[in-house]
Structure 1
């Protein structure tokens, strides 16, 4: 359902730029709409992040309906930060073998 929502959002925007950027972003590690990995699903914060993400979906649709483009953009920027948090938490996980893609990501420093 999450993937479907993001596809519909891209269609609703009617912008080739937004469509292209969404296609680019979903190929980044842990950034795709289905990128919620097992390590996060079992974490205490998982439910909270899911609730926040779903609320952001509602808020962005409301902003689009009201033709508040700047607000919709700000919400989606914040929404993308959830993917960043997922990645940071995955990188700190002690159970990296359950996430083979993590080994392809180099830590800074």
Structure 2
């Protein structure tokens, strides 16, 4: 771990290195998938880590990843009239889902 005061180090002492020793760089590889959002065919490009989180969200809700994405698409249209960056919205929803306390399943 880098120490404070050294070039490229953290600005404060005793910070935790965000790279775990077994960090899998394959998580950052972007993957495009053809999906149907409420009946419309489209393509969504997300990093592997986000597809994995979407799979967890789908499993927790007893549905498919496509159903989760269709729900997100439908809700953003109902609540906000749409969004310009759907993949960005999906990434933020994935992070927000991880930040919530564990769900009772």
Higher Rg of the two aligned structures: 2
Higher RCO (Cα < 8 Å, 6 or more apart): 1
The verdict on a shared fold, with TM-score over 0.5 as the criterion, is no
Q: TM-score if structure 1 supplies the norm length?
A: 0.32
TM-score normalised according to structure 2 size = 0.33
- Which of the pair is proportionally richer in helix? 1
Task: Determine which structure has the larger strand proportion and give its number.
Answer: 2
